[in-house]
Amino acid sequence: MELWEHIRYDPVHGAKALMDGYGVRLFKTAYRLCSNAATAEDLAARTIAQAVHRIDQYVADTSFFGWLCAILVNFYRMDLRRKGANVLLFTDELPEKEDGRADPAEVLEAETDAKAIRAAVEQLSPALREAVILRYFNELTEAEIAQALGTSVGAVKVRLHVARRKLKEILSLTLYG
């Protein structure tokens, strides 16, 4: 039985399974959008509650996580409109990977690059930032991003193309300028 079917059949246990299966991933996505742990927890919890409440609206042949991201992004945008905010700040560090590098200069260079990338992403417009976060931090497909953002695949492709171009410009000035 698929998770969405489990939620339809038994909402209480389905909600727990949804939290166990997607809670951390939703929190991480929300945190990347809002850079605040408490707000991210709230967004993830509201997303799960809304998904359980609106499970009948889920279309089975689409990405379930993409559908959840659509709910999450909608709550995030509603909160932004209420607060009148247009600024996102990335305060978390990019995940570190054990790669066996012993050269401290290389480690320092990688940390500098990560900070430059976070700063560059912060300079993007909200629409471009959302697409970048969903694509490169959550590895959603263009179709899943389109579903999550309520737009067409073509619009997502354009946003990602423009974002990559702007990031390249910003990073070339930051790192090599």
Domains present along the chain, CATH in parentheses:
1-85 (1.10.1740.10), 92-177 (1.10.10.10)
Q: Which of 12-19's residues contact partners 24+ apart within 8 Å by CB, and which partners? A: 14/52, 14/55, 15/48, 15/49, 15/52, 18/48, 18/51, 18/52, 19/48
Under DSSP, the state recorded for 124 is: S
Average pLDDT, whole number, for the chain? Answer: 83
**pLDDT score for 87:** 46
Q: Give the residue among 126, 136, 45, 49 at the shortest CA–CA distance from 88.
A: 126
Tell me the average pLDDT across 66-78.
Answer: 92
Tell me the average pLDDT across 27-53.
Answer: 91
pLDDT band, very low/low/confident/very high, at 110 (cuts 50, 70, 90): low
Q: Are 52 and 19 in contact (CB under 8 A)?
A: no
118 backbone dihedrals φ, ψ, rounded to 5°: -60, -45
Side-chain-side CA neighbours of 47 within 13 Å: the count stands at 33
